[in-house]
Structure 1
């Protein structure tokens, strides 16, 4: 699920701003942009996010600045040299391929990680790291609250889609029952035509083959499985725990049963129900991608 939160804080001579946001993703992809001179901060944040989140492409940005006007900013010339060398190599390769790159300015270079950072490498940053980790909890809580609100709205959408799938499954059962007399009459007529035009095939053998055809046209199992999948999906949504991957699997199973139902339809009414089922299931599959 998508989500966003921001926050500000201060400790000692440092102030900071947080930016935490996420977009939908099949797995959990964490991207952290935090000052690397604060020892242990990035792994601590990564561990906390991994524990709290199950899915999504999550980005955390932290900007830390000294508030006292001291020597809090430092240019890392070694890192600058590495960055400039890499930029030169990139430009050379691009020119060799006939590509033209937009020129970078000094502000672009300074914004790159590690080039220009608060000059705290000679300080003990343990206390600052603890303060940041503690402050991050409030940001994460706000972020989770937003995701829960979105999750509640999404649960309503999915529940409505499941209600529609249940209705269509009942309609499929009704259509299947309505076609039964016609199907049986067709089988009997087919059997009679074969018996009238052959002297070599045993009647029992023909009956067996027609019985196989009858089984292949029976959609009872598909309807039963669709109902079972609806019940399982409702339980997952009501459970409250992360269920995105399980719902994704169920959506695939829904689609499998709907495809089989259409292939066995042999009536326009049942085919129509099957096609609408496939449409609703596809809509549900798209929404399930947003579920953690």
Structure 2
């Protein structure tokens, strides 16, 4: 499946600045961190950087009057020390991971059934985003740029829960089975199965939309090919084939109508059900 399984899928409502820092980060670094710098230490280091900068500036001014070379060296040293202290004082990935706990999903941490569904959903979203009709603005930009990331995040979040619950059930099955435990597990399996079916339905909706977009792309390509129809009409006129000429003219009108219909159907598919359905949890 490639390296995409190591790229986290984040909640679209997360601030853009923090969201961008999750991308390109190896997924093991997104796990719990026991070495996060305490807040008081970060404040202390940040204050130290400010004091170092102020003291270094005064020292440089004093030295500049007697030794310009030494003053230049002092500026470089003070800058390096300030850069180091500011860098250490910045919150690390462990801090960000705790702050946004539950608002990102690492595909590599999902089990096989969940990963398969997520791969299908992601592929559908990528097909829509990479389509020509989308790039040319022929589809609803809000639906594609806002609704699609939200749908992908909702699906990924539910699939993470499915993975956790399946692992929990597998651990329970390894214990000594009793009638009470069997009854509990059976009810839980039924609830989980209904949720999985609902998520699979959401994935199929995304795939149906992607299919409509592919058809709209094909209709757009066919319409572009119509630009060379005049050459074929001239060719048929020169050979006296009036029936073939009428066929070409009719086909041009049908293709234009087809393009408009495909774009309209595609937009209705993604915009028609913006709210999660009852029972899709």
TM range (shorter): under 0.3
Q: Which structure has the greater CA radius of gyration?
A: 1
Question: Which has more helix, going by share of residues?
Answer: 2
Q: TM-score, normalised by structure 2?
A: 0.28
Q: TM-score, normalised by structure 1?
A: 0.27
